[in-house]
Structure 1
Amino acid sequence: MTTEDCRTDGGSEAGNASDFEEYADLGATTENAMAIAETSMDRVRDLVPDETVADRIRQKSVHATGDPEFQHLVRFTGETEAEPVVAGARAVLDEQPIVTDITMVKAGITGRGHDCPVQKAIGNGAELAKQTGTTRTAASVLELDKQGVYDGAIAVIGNAPTAALALADCIEDGTRPAVVVATPVGFVKAAESRTRLREVADSYGVPAITNVGRRGGSGLAAGLTNELVHVASDVRSGEVDLP
C-alpha cells in the first residue's frame, strides 16, 4: 500500500472515475484555492509522517485542528491502524450511506468524489427523547438504528457524546457499521464516550477512528470522513491499492 493515497446533494451516478466530480482537497476548486490547499497540506506533511493511509488521517486531524500535536491523539480500532481507513474507503466505493450525528457535520461532508447518500441523525426520534428524557441526538441514533440505517454505513459523530454512547449500545446489540468516525467534543462525557465506543468497537470487530482527550468536534469529524473519500478517490484512479 502506498501513501498516494458520499453523496451530498448533487452527486453523480457511479460507473467509472470520469463519472465523478474530482475530489477537491479542503474544498478547493479554483487555481488559487488549490494552490493554497496544496501549500497547507505540504506544511502539514512536514510535521506528520507520510508513509501509510493511517498517516493521512493523522495529517487531516492536524490540518483540521491547526495543532501538530493532535496527530498523537488519534486512535485506530482494528487489527492494524490501516483497517478502519481501508474499511471506510471500501464503504465509500460501495456507495454506503454516510450518517452524521448533527447538521454541522453533514454540512462539512464533501459532495465530490463519491456517490454515497449523506444524512443526519438529528431530527429523528423526537418522541423517544420526550418519553425517555434522553438527549435528542441519542434518541436520533437509536431511532435510525431501529430502521437499520447504521448497518454497513459510515457512522460519523462529531458533536454529541450521548450519540457516541448510544451508538456503542447499538453495536453491543448487533449493529455493524462499516466504520465509525467519532470525535465528540466537550467536558462532559466526551472522552468517556469515545473510550466506551473504542472498547465496544474493538470487542465486536467494528473498525473505528477516534481520539483521546476533551478535544474534537464537527469540523474534525467531517475532515476525517472526507479523507476516507479522498483515499477512495485515489483507489478509483489507481494511485492507491487497498489490501
Structure 2
Amino acid sequence: MTTEETRTDGGVDAGEPTEEYADLGATTEDAMEIAETSMDRVRELVPDETLADRIRQKSVHATGDPEFQHLVRFTGEEEDEPIRAGARAVLDEQPIVTDITMVESGITGRGHDCPVRKAIGNGAELAAETGITRTAASVLELDREGVYDGAIAVVGNAPTAALALADCIADGTRPAVVVATPVGFVKAAESRKRLRAVAAERGVPAITNVGRRGGSGLAAGLTNELVHVASDARDGAVDLDE
C-alpha cells in the first residue's frame, strides 16, 4: 500500500504528512461534518468526563447502541489506566497486533507510527499438529517470537485467540494493553472473562466487554480511540500522567 492509498477507515498509512481530519477518519468537508455530528449525538448519551468515557462513547458509536456503554469493562487500578497505557504505547510506536485481517484493516493509519500486523497466517504447522484453531495457533506462534511483549494486543473476532492470549499472559507475556471484544455464542463471553481475570492477576491493563456481542469493528474503533488519545496527549490536550 502506498502512502496515497486510503484504508477502510478513511485513513492512510502512517508516514503521510498530517492533514486535518476528524474522528472516524473523515477528511472531506461533508464527511467531517457527519463524523462530528455523529459524535456530538453520542456525547449526549454518554458522559464525557474521563478517558474511560471516551472508550464508552466509541463503543456506542461502533455498535449504534447507547446501552453498550454499560457493557464495557476496564482492567486496572482505575478505569483510565488501560487508556493511558494504550496511548503511551502509541506514542512509543509499539506494535499493534490484531487477531485477524478485518481488525487490522480497521486500524487508522493516521496519528501514529506504530507498525500494524495481524496474527492470522502464522502458526499453520502448530494448528495442523495440535488441532487447535488457526487463530489460537497464530497467537501462540507470535508469542513465541516475543511479538506481544510491550505491544497493543487486539482481539476482535476469535474467542480462541483471546483464550490463547490469556494463556500467554498467564505464562509471563506482558502486552502494554489488551483490547479484546471477540464476538459469538460459543466461548466469546467466557474468553473475555478469562482474559480479564488473568490481566487483573498479572497487572496487564485491558479493555473488554461482557456478553455475547463484540466484533472486529468494535475492536478497531476502540483501538483507534487509543490513537486519538495519544494524539491529544501529543498536542497537550490530555495529560497521561494525571
Per the shorter chain, which TM-score range? over 0.9
Displacement after TM superposition at 1:11 (Å)? 1.3
Mapping for residues 36-55 of structure 1, pairs under 5 Å? 36-55=34-53
Distance 1:234 1:169, change over 3 A: same
| Cross-structure match for 1:163 | 161
Moved over 2 A (4+): 19-24
Conservation of the 8 A alpha-carbon contact between 1:20 and 1:114: no
- Offset, 1:187: 0.1
- Please give the residue correspondences for 1:171-182 in structure 2 after superposition, counting only pairs within 5 Å: 171-182=169-180
Question: 1:1-243 alignment to 2 at 5 Å?
Answer: 10-12=13-15, 20-21=18-19, 24-243=22-241
Q: 1:27 offset after TM fit, Å?
A: 1.3
What is the letter of the counterpart of residue 125 of structure 2? E
Deviation string 1:41-64 (CA, Å, 9 cap, x unpaired) is: 000000000000000000000000
Residues in 1 aligned to 2:18 and 2:152: alpha-carbon distance in whole angstroms: 20
Residue of structure 1 in register with 2:5 after alignment: none
DSSP-derived class of the 2:186 partner: coil
Note the alpha carbon deviations across 1:165-209, whole angstroms, 9 max, x for none: 000000011100000000000000000000000000000000000
Give distance in 2, aligned partners of 1:51 and 1:142: 38
**Local SS of the residue matching 2:160:** helix
- Partners of 1:132 and 1:21 lie apart in 2 by 48
State the one-letter code of the partner of 1:49: P
CA distance in 2, matches of 1:24, 1:161: 32
Per-residue deviation at 1:242?
1.1
Cα RMSD for the two superposed structures: 1.3
Quick one: distance in 1 between partners of 2:21 and 2:115? Answer: 16
Give the Å deviation of 1:157.
0.2
- Structure 2: distance between partners of 1:182 and 1:39: 28
Corresponding letter in the other structure for 2:176: A
CA distance, structure 1, for counterparts of residue 130 and residue 20 of structure 2: 45
1:99 aligned counterpart, secondary structure: strand
User: 1:64–1:220: 8 Å Cα contact kept in structure 2?
Assistant: yes
The alignment partner of 2:45 has SS state of coil
Shift of 1:24: 3.6
Structure 1 residues without counterparts, runs of 5 or longer: 1-7, 14-18
| Residue ranges of structure 2 left out of the alignment (5+ in a row) | 1-10
> SS of the counterpart of 1:46?
helix
